Structure 1
Amino acid sequence: MRIHLTSVFVDDQEKALRFYTDVLGFVKKHDVPMGDHRWLTVVSPEEPDGTELLLEPSAHPAVAPYKTALVQDGIPAASFAVDDVRAEYERLRSLGVAFTQEPLEMGQITTAVLDDTCGNLIQIIHAK
């Protein structure tokens, strides 16, 4: 068994697509119209056949309180591996990305948490 697909709820799929591709560097994999929304996934350019991230609309009534609670408590909705958190932090900050947690070393890992502009906190992480 392996993870094939995971998702983050986004307030605006088009804005999310721009952020996740133009800023974070993912690549669009699927973009299928589905009524008012789309089946919209991105993948890592390093693993084009790897796990897909679904940019899922926040339309369900349960999503808003869920996302609000996570953000208020500082809990990331997803975690992405990077080779160097500090370097990625600097790169993303230069692009105007807001961080809620600067790089923090915790034993063998370093993390930072950013705002994806679509209602989520996203953690970036690397292990020594």
Structure 2
Amino acid sequence: MMTEARNIGVIGTSARIAIGVGLLFLAFWGEGVQWHEALIGFALFPALLMLFQWARLSRTKESLSANGPMGYLLNNGIVVLFVLIPFTRDPAFLFYGSSMILAAVRREGGCEIMSLSNWLLRRNDEVG
């Protein structure tokens, strides 16, 4: 079930690209990115999100719209947790940075974190 996507303009697109590139820079800054960090950030995190979506969609086809205070708290709590744990810091920067860039390329005004799963599943779900 694809709901109408919210397109973004030049400012929104530019902001997503700038933030995405900045997050990717943070991942590569310092010692660089190890192969296992790239695997986690570019494959494992997106795969886990897709598995969550497939499991949720097996129970309901309704659009996920967790963008109230609890969705915001959950989303940002996970980001903070990933960034505070050294093992997941660079993978998180890779995942969130690439998600921001994908959202910009798709001119998607919704949830950047769900950008890949929304694109592959032809949906418009949001968290936070």
Instruction: Please classify the TM superposition score into its range, dividing by the shorter chain length.
Output: under 0.3
TM-score by length of 1: 0.27
Which structure shows the bigger proportion of residues in strand conformation? 1
Which structure shows the bigger proportion of residues in helix conformation? 2
Question: Larger relative contact order (C-alpha < 8 A, sep ≥ 6)?
Answer: 2
